[in-house]
Structure 1
Amino acid sequence: MKKLRPADLAREHHISAQAVRNYEQEGLLPAAERTPVGYRVYTEVHAAALRALLALIPAHGYTTAREIMRALNTGDLDAALTAIDRSHAQLLRDRETLRAVAEAVPHLTAARDAESAARERQPPLSIGKLADRLDVTAATLRNWEDAGVLAPRRSATGHRTYTADDVRDAELAHLLRRGGYLLEQISTVVQQIRTAGGTRALAAALEDWQQRLTARGLAKLDAAEKLASYLTSLGVVRPERPVRPVRPAPEES
């Protein structure tokens, strides 16, 4: 098998050789063999691993990419696949949230209709229940409230309660935070949803996030291809022979 240096792997991706060594030290690449004098020796397996890692980062985020590669490099394929499944589920949830918000906007200036009345009948959530739903901490929700993103009601005992509209605002905030928006920007967007005024910024934010979701979805396709190549190089996945089309049997006359 061809022997490669850190610089050989780095050159393909325009990164430093030190970055390659750092990835290995973090367990994101398989451990390299060493020469008698201590130099690292990489192979095409390491090159495939680096391609997979660098494709996984824009597709799933650095944290999930790190989880996937560490799992694969310790032989835990199921853990890696579970992390990928969670990331795909989150992308689907983001799409559904984005669609729900976009569909809600035209109704915000209208009088309360049957749909909003149905939302009103949904039982409110506590801060703990909402935090669990979004997979954030209660402290995060309180920070969003301080920034004007959320405006929960308070019970007679002072406990926060979140209506269906509050949950919608929280879902949107969570969506935009992952998109890199600041709390101040998110607060402006959420306020526009509540008041149904000045929807230009809202429309621009939703369009921007739609583009981000599309880019992430395409990145996942690229990452899947690179990851499959890495698994093939490890011998985990074996390339299948091409399937020949089955010709129908001739009809009897």
Structure 2
Amino acid sequence: MSTKITNLHVENAYKLGKKVYEEQMTISEAADELSQEYSMNRGSAQGYVYTFLRMMSGEEYRRTINAFATEYYLNGIYSDYGEQQLLSALSSVRKHLEYYEGIGKSRQQQIHQVVDKLVEGLNNVTTMSNHIAEFDKQIALSKNDMPDDRKKRLNAASKIPARVSVSTEVFRRNPDVVAEVLLRANGICERCKQDAPFLRAKDQTPYLEVHHIKQLAAGGEDTVKNALALCPNCHRELHFG
């Protein structure tokens, strides 16, 4: 049985680690699948899944995973669970590095570089957070505006959103489109027709997400016609299957 950890092993260890974290299977079952389906050494398989769980809890782990795996896990956690969970995972990696180097092992330079790169990226994301916060304020103002005034702006607005550069390129979306679509939905997902799953803590309004039928990155228009108000499950399903 193969003992070398491949990128495919890492990708599937992450995928199955998520299932363990979300209580869809046990660590033992995940290790068995990695061993049987992907010819990964079972001890390594269990270690890689366990490390993912430690990252999710922000706790120290002692068994080293390679630099590719560390970066893959951290990027995946950021993408799937958000900034706060990434910060927890970074804390876990730092604790691992302190432990590893504290027992006299060599400095894991590549993993330090992975951590430094992600921390630098998070520092830049502050501007992204500001952008999102400002957009949320604009949506709130639009929702409280007179319907006729909002519709006038919609009729006069450009259908193609301007791009702004924030730590990465994002679209400057029209808050009137978001407001109009959320009001149209009236708290009901426009795909599964179920009530919004919960209320927003800040204002007790139904939590739905606005999805563009044809994605903006693919040339879709930022218009009410090209948008749906969706519950998080339907939104994720449309994006990720």
Length-normalised TM-score, structure 2: 0.31
Length-normalised TM-score, structure 1: 0.30
Larger fraction in helix: 1
Highest CA radius of gyration, 1 or 2? 1
Tell which has more relative contact order, 1 or 2 (C-alpha 8 A, sep 6+).
1
